[in-house]
Chain A
């Protein structure tokens, strides 16, 4: 890391750590959401950024994690156990799915991953005895004060984001990151020079699935109520991609910066256009794709940014 990179990173971490001291519950909720999206974006980045596979299915793992955790927790088991179960289920699901889907490339992979979340939503809706179906699932109340709850989930999400960040860093500076890079540039060539592409792709896919599932499980305990159309929302698949596009795909701290930047934007839109929220969001996406196709880094003054993001 150069000095600039270190500076940006320290600034973000300091800002996040200061949140519980200066912030009220609203700011804390916003920060927790930002951390959650940072986790999802980092999870996406391992497959979409490093390996260059157009993954459109983060919502599937997020929702699966949310429901796994919620079902365990509402049966009376401790929260920690619920989260661990959720991660295990997310991991196993990612491995199985990876074996099947990672044979596909390009458009076919994009569509297949896009439909998984919809399928899981349908299955969750149908399996009423366990998941509560379309009625949703209420999680047991902690019995804490709102402030204590907000603090608790902020630190949990911060912990998860830290683990995700460290994982991303390790992946990027490791054989795995190198192999994924090769796969992105030319998968056939990578195969020919002896990189076991299938294995590395499945590992990347599993990392993404595990982190998204963990984020989902914490999200479920945090909000206390989940329903299929909420946690399997396609926006959970799309937003991380946009955040990665903004911050810089395939970089280590790009996803974190992109998540924070997009979320601030999203919050401003929410507060000002309640009725037209999704429309304005769509407009922003269109503008972003048409005029800033390489994210914030394509604005002239931030060559520095690129450098910082490619830590």
Chain B
């Protein structure tokens, strides 16, 4: 049954997509900004994994940690130093600011890493599992599992730690949170750092599955848009569900319409969702 093969492909793809979108969704939900840098963060995470593997032999699943830490630090500084200055202004201003930063970052990566596509070729791949007629690449399956573990970790951080509760509080009512003694600017910076860290981790996770070039950022970004709207802006479980839904959509859409129209299909879904279910598949229930 070829159907189950596409189902498996979609679900495995979905885990990575969930990881790509979770940080983006969190930043959009809490800071109310559309972070165009997110795609470039993923690409930088990819390059960290790529060079860790080719130069130091560190497996991408291990460099997930390095990528997350490096990108988290970058995100914290960028938010605290730059974006916080205009965070309360209109979507026009914040979006253009992140666009300008994206141009700078992409240009820097283009000059440093050259424009060709790269991909981590694992020397000891885990192999392929056969479940009846369904073939599953174990490396991809493992990266999907790690992706979901990271999302679970993010969800736990938001639920159980005081920093996480502060983030949720700021999301629901910025002014009230301020009155409760929460340092809103610092909370914004931590949120942005979490989002960037997740983007970096996603970049490492997909390094063995997808070829990436310095200018691949917008591709990931447009997927993150759709998943974010699918799952509901700001919702971490929503991003997980939206990622899976999007993975399935892409897997089956490629069969029905051809893979070259993936973005068009995603856009049609995006528009229908924005018009019919603007709060996502799960609706707004907090985190």
Contacts and interface: CB of A to CB of B under 8 A. Distances in A.
Interface of A: 48, 54, 56, 100-101, 103-104, 106-108, 110-112, 114-116, 118-119, 122-123, 125-126, 234, 238, 241-242, 245, 275-279, 281-286, 288-290, 293
Given A126-B261, A286-B104, A115 B91 contact: no
A247 B93 CA distance: 15
B121 to A, nearest CB: 27
B5 interface: no
Contacts of A125: 260
Interface in B214-242: 218, 222, 225, 229, 233
B91 to A, nearest CB: 5
Contacts of B180: none
Q: Lowest 9 CB-CB distances: which A-B pairs, in order?
A: A282-B103, A285-B100, A279-B107, A282-B104, A286-B100, A282-B100, A289-B97, A119-B267, A278-B107
Given A54-B91, A122-B260, A279 B104 contact: yes
Contacts of A54: 90-92, 95
A213 B110 CA distance: 31
A110 B91 contact: yes
A106 B104 contact: no
B275 A100 contact: yes
A118 B103 contact: no
A213 to B, nearest CB: 20
Contact of A112 (B82, B99, B271): B271
B35 to A, nearest CB: 11
B97 A123 contact: no
B163 interface: no
A110 B34 contact: yes
A104 B274 contact: yes
Interface in B60-91: 82, 85-86, 89-91
A126 B111 contact: no
A277 B104 CA distance: 9
B268 to A, nearest CB: 8
Nearest to A279: B107
B86 A122 contact: no
B267 A289 contact: no
Q: Which secondary structure dominates chain A's binding surface?
A: helix
A110 B222 CA distance: 12
A101 B111 CA distance: 38
Interface in B87-119: 89-93, 95-97, 99-108, 111
Given A241-B96, A285-B100, A122 B263 contact: yes
B185 interface: no
Nearest to B99: A238
B: contact size bracket: 35 or more
Nearest to B92: A54
22 contacts: A48-B92, A100-B271, A104-B274, A110-B95, A111-B229, A112-B274, A116-B267, A122-B262, A238-B96, A238-B99, A241-B92, A242-B96, A277-B107, A278-B103, A279-B103, A279-B108, A281-B100, A282-B101, A282-B104, A285-B96, A285-B100, A289-B97
Given A54-B95, A110-B95, A112-B271, A285 B86 contact: no
B32 interface: yes
Contacts of A242: 96
B87 to A, nearest CB: 12
B267 A126 contact: no
A119 B264 contact: yes
A282 B92 contact: no
Contact of A290 (B82, B104, B106): B82
A242 B93 CA distance: 9
A106 B91 contact: yes
A285 B34 contact: no
Contacts of A119: 263-264, 267
Contacts of A276: 107, 111
Contact of A111 (B34, B85, B218): B34
Most buried by A among B28, B218, B264, B270: B264
A180 to B, nearest CB: 16
A289 B96 contact: yes
B260 A286 contact: no
Contacts of A286: 82, 97, 100-101, 104
Most buried by A among B82, B111, B218, B274: B274
Nearest to A282: B103
B253 interface: no
Contacts of B275: 100, 103-104
Contact of B93 (A100, A111, A122, A289): A289
A170 B271 CA distance: 33
A104 B262 CA distance: 23
Nearest to A104: B274
